[in-house]
């Protein structure tokens, strides 16, 4: 598969997930060639790619553990081979495990840190080496760094680290014409968010925002696409997409 000289290329990690899938679909609609990354659900990624191609888009699926530097190097190699380069990396891959700090299992904590922190670092490192001038690196944080809900402590610890490394990478890439930002979604109706929550808890979170609803994956995808495309003067920032929750 090849792209025209003017086609921009994006790699979306976690592209088979709820927000990731919405980001893929939005970037395809915006004319990007997109690599849909998956960790464990190749069938879902292949379906997203097939749908994109059926609609006239350009897409491939790439697999691998985001925390494995060899796997991610190979994933970036594949994207460059197929599409000729990488312009945008949207790093949506992540896991969410909730629980009070006092009782939180360290195995679960290590799993969170491995995917959400090391994984973001590994992907950002490859992106910093490979994204072309005029490109963008977009990582994912969470609004809970502000709202500070109980049981989110371990998750927020990882996402706070993501914000920190994102801000510093933006400064380290001075002179490269590459923007580096983070998106911090509020409560968003994805399987990752809804898992383990009662209907009452979901309703309370939906009502907490002034807009009176949960976010949709498409709401978050709009922000990522803005940063991936026209938002060339936004750099080294965390954008909170949460309906006014905080």
Rounded to the nearest 10 degrees, what angle do helices 18-29 and 217-228 cross at? 50
- The helices-and-strands tally (H runs, E runs) of the chain is 10, 7
CA–CA dist 56, 51 (Å, integer) = 9
Q: Nearest to residue 123, comparing CAs of 152, 94, 153?
A: 94
Instruction: Report residue 246 CA to chain centroid gap.
Output: 20
Cα distance between residue 215 and residue 194, in whole Å: 12
Instruction: List the one residue out of 238, 239, 242, 93 whose CA is nearest residue 166.
Output: 238
From 32, 83, 140, 155, active-site residue = 155
Please give the structure tokens belonging to residue 208: 């907490």
Is 152 a residue of the active site?
no
Catalytic residues: 155
């Amino acid at each position: 598969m090849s792209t025209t000289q003017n086609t921009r290329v994006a790699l979306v990690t976690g592209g088979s997930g709820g927000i990731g899938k919405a980001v893929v679909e939005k970037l395809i609609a915006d004319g990007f060639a997109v690599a849909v990354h998956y960790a464990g659900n190749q069938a879902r990624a292949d379906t997203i790619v097939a749908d994109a191609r059926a609609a006239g888009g350009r897409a491939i699926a790439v697999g691998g553990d985001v925390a494995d530097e060899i796997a991610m190097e190979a994933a970036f190699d594949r994207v460059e081979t197929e599409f000729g380069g990488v312009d945008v990396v949207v790093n949506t891959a992540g896991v969410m495990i909730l629980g009070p700090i006092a009782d939180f299992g360290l195995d679960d904590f290590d799993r969170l840190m491995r995917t959400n922190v090391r994984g973001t670092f590994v992907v950002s490192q490859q992106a910093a080496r490979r994204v072309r001038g005029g490109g963008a690196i977009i990582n994912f944080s969470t609004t809970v760094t502000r709202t500070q809900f109980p049981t989110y402590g371990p998750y927020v610890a990882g996402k706070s680290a993501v914000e920190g490394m994102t801000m510093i990478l933006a400064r380290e890439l001075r002179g490269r014409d590459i923007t580096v930002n983070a998106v911090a979604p509020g409560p968003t109706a994805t399987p990752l968010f809804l898992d383990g929550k009662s209907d009452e808890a979901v309703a309370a979170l939906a009502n907490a925002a002034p807009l009176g609803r949960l976010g949709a994956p498409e709401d978050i995808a709009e922000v990522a696409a803005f940063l991936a495309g026209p938002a060339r003067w936004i750099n080294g920032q965390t954008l909170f997409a949460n309906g006014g929750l905080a």
